[in-house]
Structure formats: C-alpha cells, structure tokens
Amino acid sequence: MATRNSTERDRTAPAVPCSRGPLSSAVVVALTANHRPGPHHLRHAATTDAPYGDDLQLALYLLYELHYRGFAGVDESMEWAPVLAPLREALEDRFLRALRADVPGRAPEDAFADLLVEPADRSGSVAYHLEHEGALGQVREYAALRSLYHLKEADPHAWVIPRLRGRAKAAMVAIEYDEFGAGRAEEVHARLFADLMDDLGLDTAYGRYVDHAPAEMLAVVNLMTLFGMHRRSRGALVGHFGCVEVTSSPGSRRLAAAMRRTGAGPAAVRFYTEHVEADAVHEQVVRHEVVGGLLADEPHLAGDVAFGVDATVLLEDRLAAHLLRAWRSGGSALRQSL
C-alpha cells in the first residue's frame, strides 16, 4: 500500500537508478515490484562479489538511500522491510571484511598524524590536479560525483549524535550546527553545494548523478552511512568524521583556487572558501573534543577510531586514482556523459 504522501514525495525523490548486476537488480526488483530478494544464491553472491565493485556498492547504496530521501515510486515502508535485511547484512559484511583486510590496525594518534602532513608527492591529489591543470569539464564531473554526498552533507554523521555523550556529543552537535547553516536555511552546506552546481550548469536534483557515478564514488558515500547506521560503529564514524574535517580545509583551499581558475562562478568559489574557514576551526574541535571526548569515555574504541580514519583514506585514494587515471588519459571519469 502506498503511503498517503507518496505522490507529493515522488515529485522530489530521485528515480531508482539502473542496476549493474544481479545484486543491484534484485534490490531494484524488490523496491519497485515488492518482490522478495530472497534466493539463497543472492545472499551467497553478496558474500563473494567484488566488495568495491559496481554491483555490490550500488545494491548497498539503494538500500541505504531508503533511510534518506527514498526513491520515486517506492513505498516508504520498504525502509525497514524485513525481506531486505538479510541481503543488506550480507552486503555490509562483505564490504567491512574487505576494509578491515585492507587497512592497518594502529592507534588513532598515528592515523591522524598522517593527515596533518601534506605529502611531498601530490601526483595523487585530485584537488592539486584541479587547482593547477584541471579543465572546467573535469571540475563539472567532480562536482557531479561529489553531489552524492554534498547534497546531504552532514546527514550521515548526524546518526552518531544519540550514541555519544558529554564532551563528544556537545562538540559534535556544535559542528553539525554549522554544517546545517547555523539556523539559516540558505546557509545549509547542502544548499551551498546546490548553488555551486547551478553555477556549473549541473542539475541540482538530489540523486541526479547516481547513474553517472563509478563504484569508487558509491563506496565513499556508503562508508559513512554504514558507520552511521550501526551503534557498534560509533568509533569508526567519529574517526571518519575526524578524517573529513582534518583534510577538508587544505583541500578546499585548492578547490576554491580551481573554481577561480576555471571560471566556475561565484557560488562555486564560495562553497569551498566557506569550508576553508569553517573546517579549519572544526579540525581542532573534532580532534580534541569529539575524538578526545569519545576516547575519554570509551578508550576501548581507539582501534575503531583509527579504522574509521584509515578506511576513509583508502576509499578516497581509490576514488582519486580512478579520477586522475581517466582525466590524464583524456577521458571522462563518469559512467555516462554529462
């Protein structure tokens, strides 16, 4: 049965993306035709499929988006549909196992120390590439891909607030308050990113560019929801959030320069200059109060915090490698043209 407000919601909810294999196809069928995605071979495929590949990452993205805006034509009751839970659990387990196998186990202070030093070799930096040699077309591709997160900026991190207390909670809420515009709708960072997209001639509709996004981008977005949706991953979410805030200010400075150099427009420049200033402050708060407060309360989560940092770096590096490889060969980093 459709919910009472489904017609109104479908005007703003994104369309269901095209599937990319048996796993995502099963989820699409479950969402659009209300069929069980339950055959045993699908759950088996979820435990053996490429963990960073298109099919698994899109299937996970489809399931996670039910907790945000949903999809046009998909009943809102599907958000917690029991028939989807076993498949989602298998997808998450496959993704997490791969991440834990691919990142080092270490102390959070060591993980953050690496973030505070800009590497001498910048050949793997997307922000550096766009600042110095990126074309406007590459800036547009970058914005289209990042819209998968920035049009819901800070939303995945809000999941952790009920799971924190004391210093960590107070500091987290203070940072999120800034991200959500400090009480002004026109200053919400997701709104500022939509203005950036408008300057670049991109469609500002939520979820518009999912079909354009490679698996590397889907994995970056899925990671924060995976951490945010589970209380057991609160330490990893704090580590992820800390990584984002610590690296944001220097990267945003380069991206603001890229926007100016390519003539992207004033709103495009403003989005990144806003992050240069705001995140320089947030970096200190998140390291000393959010991370520090959490570990003062729950020191046993130190390994999880470091895992959150290192998993974020791993997936961002994979995305950067994909983008730079495509652009340096003269091609597009997207699955389909803008």
Residues 125 and 263 in one domain: yes
> 211 and 93 in one domain?
no
pLDDT at 170: 98
In a domain, 11, yes or no: yes
Contact status, residue 273 vs residue 252, Cβ threshold 8 Å = yes
If asked whether residues 24 and 136 sit together in one domain, one would say no
Q: Within this chain, do residues 126 and 174 fall inside the same structural domain, yes or no? A: yes
CATH number at residue 158: 1.20.910.10
The rounded percent of the chain whose pLDDT value lies above 90 is 81
In one letter, which amino acid is 63?
A: L
- Confidence tier at 1 by pLDDT (50, 70, 90): very low
CA 278 to chain CA centroid, Å, is: 19
pLDDT band at 4 (very low <50, low <70, confident <90, very high): very low
Local confidence band at 83 (pLDDT 50, 70, 90 cut-offs): confident
Residue 96: the pLDDT is 97
Phi and psi at residue 56, in whole multiples of 5°? Answer: -65, -45
Mean pLDDT over 219-246 rounds to: 97
Cα–Cα distance, 181 to 179 (Å, whole number): 6
Is 80 exceeded by the pLDDT of residue 34? no
Number of domains comprising the chain: 2
Domain range enclosing 78? 6-100
What is the predicted pLDDT for the residue at 120? 79
pLDDT band at 118 (very low <50, low <70, confident <90, very high): confident
For residue 337, tell me if it sits in a domain.
Answer: no
- Tens of pLDDT, residue by residue over 129-181, are 999 999 999 999 999 999 999 999 999 999 999 999 999 999 999 999 999 99
Same domain, 129 and 276: yes
Token pair, residue 209, equals 């560019």
pLDDT at 35: 59
Mean of pLDDT values over 192-210: 97
Query: What DSSP designation does 331 have?
Result: S
State pLDDT tens for residues 235-255.
Answer: 999 999 999 999 998 999 999
**278-305 confidence digits (pLDDT tens):** 767 788 899 999 999 999 999 999 999 9
Query: Are residue 58 and residue 161 in the same domain, yes or no?
Result: no
Residue 20: per-residue pLDDT? 96
Determine, yes or no, domain membership for 246: yes
Which residue among 35, 70, 100 closes a domain? Answer: 100
Could you report the per-residue pLDDT of 39-82, keeping only the tens digit for each?
A: 555 666 677 789 999 999 999 999 999 999 999 999 999 999 88
Of 100, 115, 134, the residue that ends a domain is 100
Residue 266 within any structural domain of the chain? yes
Token pair, residue 237, equals 């979410």
pTM for the whole thing? Answer: 0.94
Same domain, 83 and 121: no
Rounded to whole angstroms, the Cα distance separating 171 from 166 reads 9
Domain boundary among 100, 119, 151: 100
Sorted by sequence, the CB contacts under 8 Å of residue 94 that are 6+ apart come out as 46, 47, 48, 49, 51, 56
Number of separate helices (H) and strands (E) present in the chain: 16, 0
